[in-house]
Structure 1
Amino acid sequence: MSLPTKAMRDGLLEKRSSGLLQLWKKKRCLLTDEGLRLRSCKGPAAGHARSPCAAWSSGSRSKELPFENMVTLDCVEYKRGLVYFTVVMDTGKEIDFRCPQDGTAWNAEIALALVRYKNLQAVESGRKRHISAAHMCSTELDNEDL
């Protein structure tokens, strides 16, 4: 059973398309403790000041970028009031993003969440190794008594 994901941030982010023109497209993003969820900002709600994109719903199609598949976040550059950064996936794919420089930048929040996730995975892995080693030692001791 998996625990419900905690939403850390919700808002707009621009992602560079992978097509020939590599246009910047606005995406509605949800940063959770498991990764980043992206959804297109198309339709009548896209220009509305209060609701930049339609609300998240279970039926809406979104692209998932789980932290387990992310390697790092790098290439941070500041230009004309925007922060440009790249998420590198374990397949080698690089995904470019940009966001406004004012306030808390998305790149910092994603990087911190990624580090937190990787640290929790390392602790969990270490705990499993420790339990496995302790089990192996107790099994060896039990066999010596026979």
Structure 2
Amino acid sequence: MASKTVKTSSDEILCEGELEKRSHSLFQVWKKKRCVLTADRLRLFSGKTGPAKELFFHSILKVDCVEHTSKYVYFTIVTNYYKEIDFRCTGKSCWNAAITMALIDFQNRRALEDFRRYRYQRSASETQSEPETHGTS
């Protein structure tokens, strides 16, 4: 199943398709997952029914590209707690790039929000701490 990319707002789908995730079991089997990428998370579906596992971008530190072969791109998502989740996709699907770009966009938006919040709080505290000047005659 090829991935499909769409222009989006924050809730719309950026990319949808198939990824393979490596299990953490003894045999480390690759399992196919239907995936949906949005501006703030990656959803992983095991089957046609059942809840999705969600990887929220606020809990992801980075995406590491591990290896390119003639058939697959292997990459790892590293969480804020340094848990590593291994994936692979066909080279043509570019899932690693789509996830990386969405993560960077999310981190940039969050940094701007933090900066604006800091600037607003600093401005408000400076306004409150300015002494009132009263003219005396």
Tell me which interval the TM-score lies in, with the shorter structure as reference length: 0.7 to 0.9
Out of 99, 124, 127, which is 1:135 matched to?
A: 124
- In the alignment, does 2:73 pair up with 1:83? yes
TM-score of the superposed pair, with normalisation by structure 2 = 0.86
Q: Quote the Cα distance in structure 1 between the aligned partners of 2:58 and 2:11.
A: 14
Q: Give the aligned partner of residue 123 of structure 1.
A: 112
| Structure whose residues are more often helix by fraction | 1
Measured after TM superposition, the shift of residue 35 of structure 1 is 1.0
Gaps of 5+ in 1: 42-53
Distance 1:64 1:145 in 2: 55
Tell me the residue number matched to 1:50. none
1:69 CA displacement: 0.2
Structure 2, unmatched stretches of 5+, are 1-8
Matches within 5 A, 1:53-72: 54=48, 60-72=50-62
> How many residues are paired up?
126
1:112 alignment partner AA: M
Trace 1:1-146 onto structure 2 (pairs within 5 A): 5-41=11-47, 54=48, 60-102=50-92, 104-141=93-130, 143-145=131-133
Provide the TM-score with structure 1 as the length reference. 0.81
Q: Identity, % of aligned pairs?
A: 40
Contact 2:10 2:39 (8 Å CA) reproduced:
no
- AA aligned to 1:80 is S
Task: Name the amino acid aligned to 1:110.
Answer: I
User: Cα distance 1:73–1:4, how it changes in 2: closer, same or farther (>3 A)?
Assistant: closer
Whichever residue aligns with residue 124 of structure 1, its letter is: E
